[in-house]
Structure 1
Amino acid sequence: MTKILLIEDDDIVGEMLCMYLSEEAFDVKRAIDGQEGLSDIHQFNPDLILLDLVLPDAEGMVLCSQIRLLTQAPIIITSSKNSVSDRIQALTLGADDYMCKPFSMQELKARIYAILRRVPQGSALYSEPIPTPETLEPSSDIRLDYDQRRLVVRGESVDVTFSEFEIMRLLYQSPGRVYSRDEIINAVRGFDSYVNYRAIDVHITNLRKKIETNPKDPQHIKTVWGFGYKYIVPST
């Protein structure tokens, strides 16, 4: 049975979501604040997390980032905040989708199933600390400056678009992991914006022109045919 952790402090919303998801045959556990949610990730090991951004003890965006360091389980943000900047920030910090309250339960179920179809079932907890911007060992010739949102290639700052930086960030932080085009689309824009597979391929082509010595024979951004892309740190 698929396990869903709901982090929601509003009793009415929380009880309604728990009841609905339980009726849909999900194993649901609710946490009423951020600390309880972080604890439940270890104890419950959810397959998917529903995270409210407004909690009594935690700033939602910070909590989203903390959760992403603990587990690779998909995160769906549920929030009354509906600005584009909030959505972009949440997706940048590791969320997989963003739903504005109030929302349809049927749509929520559809989005949950859409995400779970792309994610292998099993333990989602990281068995060892994953790289973070502070601890990541970058390749000798390529760096990401997270504070200034710069791409540095062989010592030179390279101009990149918003989407190119977000794609590079996603791939760069998990060397060797293969990301599907759907995952890349969600990391860049989310479900509610028009970004298709072709657009992702164009961004990848442009990134290769900026970071590869020979873009026609890429050594960093590799294509996994029929699925997506991965970032490689070439051995020296």
Structure 2
Amino acid sequence: MDKILLIEDDDIIGEMICMYLTEEGFLVHRCLNGQEGMSALSEFNPDLILLDLVLPDYEGTELCNTLRSLTPVPIIIISSNSKVSEKIEAFTVGADDYLCKPFSMHEMKARIGVLLRRFKRELPARQEAAPARQEITVPPAELEINVEKRTLHVRGESIEMTFSEFELIRLLIEHPERVYRREDLINALRGFDSYINERSIDVHITNLRRKIEVNPKEPRYIKTVWGVGYKFVI
């Protein structure tokens, strides 16, 4: 039985989702705020998370970013905000899908099914993959990245990053000199049915250059390969 963690403070919507998914054979645990959701993550060990963007104690995208750093399971955002900018921000911080309220329960179930099947299909590869290096230092020790703690230090200074920015810099640093097409980077972040586009990748790269380069206009590390994509140079 697949387990769904629902983080939703609206009683009417929360109860409707709980009742529907329970009748459809899911085990559902509902939390009313972000703090409860964080606690339930390890205790309930869900297979998928449904996350409302408007909560009494957390800003939704901030919580999504935190959850993504702690678990690889699919995250579906449920929100009354249908703006494209809000959707892009949600995907940037780790969401796998986005449902606008009001939505069809049948559509919600279908999207849950798609994400669960994809995640389970990828799970054996995740489990069999060789352990990644936990700490990577770029000579001459200007950049230090800790994969487990999800931290990056640039010339000794701790750098704040979004989920996608960290995943991008980690991927580039782990494979120096490899040229990545924008499509490759999109797929590495969100999977093949991603909503993130090439423009989003360019924005992330620009932000990373501002954070790690001495002169972002003449980058030393993240190089543009014109007509192709980007690569990391040591």
| TM tier relative to shorter chain | 0.5 to 0.7
Q: 1:181–1:38: structure 2 CA closer, same or farther, 3 Å change rule?
A: closer
How far off is 1:184 after superposition?
Answer: 4.7
Aligned residue in 1 for 2:18: 18
Say what the alpha-carbon RMSD is for the aligned residues. 3.5
Give me the whole-angstrom Cα distance separating, in 2, the residues matched to 1:112 and 1:66. 21
Match of 2:196 among 188, 191, 195: 188
Quick one: structure 1 residues 207 and 41, their matched pair in 2 at CA, closer, same or farther if it must change by over 3 Å? Answer: farther
Residue matched to 1:100: 100
Q: Percent identity?
A: 49
Alpha-carbon distance in 2 for matches of 1:172, 1:88: 19
What is residue 155 of structure 1 aligned with on the other side?
none
Matches within 5 A, 1:135-154: 135-136=151-152
Residue 42 of structure 1: CA displacement?
0.9
Gaps of 5+ in 2: 127-133, 135-146, 176-184, 198-224
For residues 209 and 103 of structure 1, the distance between their equivalents in structure 2, rounded to whole angstroms, comes to 37
Is it true that 1:130 corresponds to 2:148 in the alignment? yes
Output the amino acid matched with 1:82: S
Match of 2:77, SS?
strand
The amino acid across from 2:82 in the alignment is N
Query: What is the letter of the counterpart of residue 111 of structure 2?
Result: R
Relative to structure 1, is the Cα distance of residues 19 and 131 closer, same or farther in structure 2, using a 3 angstrom cutoff? same
Aligned equivalents of 1:63 and 1:209: distance in 2?
A: 31
Would the alpha carbon gap of residues 120 and 207 (structure 1) be closer, same or farther in structure 2, given more than 3 Å must change?
A: farther
CA distance in 1, matches of 2:227, 2:63: 30
User: Measured at CA, do residues 32 and 58 of structure 1 come closer, stay the same or move farther in structure 2, by a change above 3 Å?
Assistant: same
TM-score, scaled relative to structure 2: 0.61
Q: Distance in 2 between matches of 1:51 and 1:169?
A: 22
Instruction: Look up the SS of the partner of 2:64 in the other structure.
Output: helix
Letter in 1 for 2:120: P
Q: Residues 146 and 10 of structure 1: is their aligned pair in 2 closer, same or farther, counting only changes over 3 Å?
A: same
- Structure 2: how far apart are the matches of 1:36 and 1:15? 17
1:211 maps to 231
What is the match of residue 120 of structure 2?
Answer: 120
Do 2:53 and 2:59's aligned partners in 1 also have CA atoms closer than 8 Å? yes
Partner of 2:205: none
Work out the number of aligned pairs and report it: 170
Question: Matches of 2:166 and 2:195 in 1, distance apart?
Answer: 10
Query: What is the Cα deviation at residue 146 of structure 1?
Result: 7.6
| TM-aligned CA distance change 1:64 to 1:106, over 3 Å | same
Shift of 1:117: 1.2
Q: Which amino acid aligns with 2:84?
A: V
| Cα pair distance change 1:19/1:82, threshold 3 Å | same
- In structure 2, the residue corresponding to 1:210 is in which secondary structure? strand
Q: Does the Cα contact within 8 Å between 2:80 and 2:100 map onto a contact in 1?
A: yes
SS of the counterpart of 1:4?
strand
Residue 79 of structure 1 is matched in structure 2 by 79
Which SS does the other structure have where 2:54 is aligned?
A: coil
Look up the match of 2:52: 52
Quote the offset at 1:171 in angstroms. 4.6
Displacement of 1:207 in angstroms is 7.8
Question: 1: distance between equivalents of 2:55 and 2:229?
Answer: 43
Is the aligned partner of 1:41 residue 2:41?
yes
Describe the SS at the equivalent of 1:30. Answer: strand
Provide the rounded CA distance (Å) in 1 between the counterparts of 2:106 and 2:3.
18
Within 1, Cα distance between the matches of 2:189 and 2:226?
A: 16
Q: Which amino acid aligns with 2:37?
A: G
State the alpha-carbon separation in 2 of the partners of residues 206 and 10 from structure 1: 49
